[in-house]
Amino acid sequence: MPLSSKEALDRLLAGNERYAAEQQEYPNQSITVRQNLAGGQNPFATILSCSDSRVPSEIIFDQGLGDLFIVRTAGHVVNGLVLASIEFAVYALNVPLIAVLGHQHCGAVTAVLKDQPLPGYLPELVDYLRPAIQTATPGSHDAAEEAVRANSRYTAAQIASSSRVLSSALDEGRLQIVSAYYHLETGRVTVLD
């Protein structure tokens, strides 16, 4: 039976608590599970997170194969392809929960705050991040972490309002979108909503 969005969030947070307490169960990682998943997937949550190598969703939520539908970009920025990936999870896989996961010491957010010239496509990343970053208190000791949290909230709101597929699922009560923050030092995830 499919999970509700509340049950999905509770499952994520329970897994994160196991991870933070070093009591992981490493679920759904057997050969049998892998072979069964060859026939199809049924993830219970979508995680939109940063590409940062310190933020691997399956590990920090103590989940296994087939449990999570993961979308990762630097600073968890959203463009049309990212939205299409998230829509696929909701439309085709009936995922009831999307968690937008920002994290402590995000390099993408920090780069935007430094406002230095960047090469290649990096200025495009800055353009995506700037609206959320502008909400941080200038010169604040915690400006970077304020900006990361703001970016997580902003992204959650952005995906909800930018997609008819997602907004319909929200209106029908089939979907919940939450923003969250991962503490690198403690391993814990805090829901921001």
Using pLDDT thresholds of 50, 70 and 90, give the confidence band for residue 138. low
154 or 1, which is more confident: 154
> What SS3 class is residue 184?
coil
On whether the CB atoms of residues 83 and 162 are closer than 8 A, the answer is: yes
Rounded Cα distance between 113 and 126, Å, is: 9
Q: Is pLDDT at 1 greater than 90 in this prediction?
A: no
Superfamily of domain 5-33+45-191: Carbonic anhydrase (3.40.1050.10)
Give the pLDDT confidence score for residue 131 in this predicted structure.
85
Question: Is residue 49 pLDDT above 80, yes or no?
Answer: yes
Instruction: Provide the whole-model pTM.
Output: 0.94
Average pLDDT of the chain, as a whole number: 93
CB-based contact 97:15 (threshold 8 Å): no
Mean pLDDT (whole number) for 163-169: 97
Which of helix, strand or coil describes residue 102?
Answer: strand
- Antiparallel, parallel or unpaired: β 176-182 and 97-103: parallel
CA angle 27, 28, 29 (to 5 degrees): 95
H/E stretch holding 46: strand 45-50
CA 50 – CA 65 distance, rounded (Å): 20
Tokens matching residue 116 = 């230095």
> For the chain, what percent of residues have pLDDT higher than 70?
97
Better-scored residue on pLDDT, 117 or 55: 55
Structure tokens at 119: 């090469």
Question: How high is the pLDDT of residue 139?
Answer: 67
Of 83, 66, 52, 62, the closest CA to residue 156 belongs to 83
Residue 34 token pair = 């892998």
Alpha carbon distance 93, 112 (integer Å): 35
User: Tell me, what's the pLDDT at 113?
Assistant: 82
CA distance 97 to 137: 31
Banded model confidence at residue 114, pLDDT cuts 50, 70, 90: confident
Buried b (16+ CB within 10 A) or exposed e, 104-117: bebebbbbbbeeee
Average pLDDT of the residues in 140-163: 90
List the one residue out of 85, 55, 69, 56 whose CA is nearest residue 159: 85
**Domain residue spans of the chain:** 5-33+45-191
Q: Residue 9 above 80 pLDDT?
A: yes
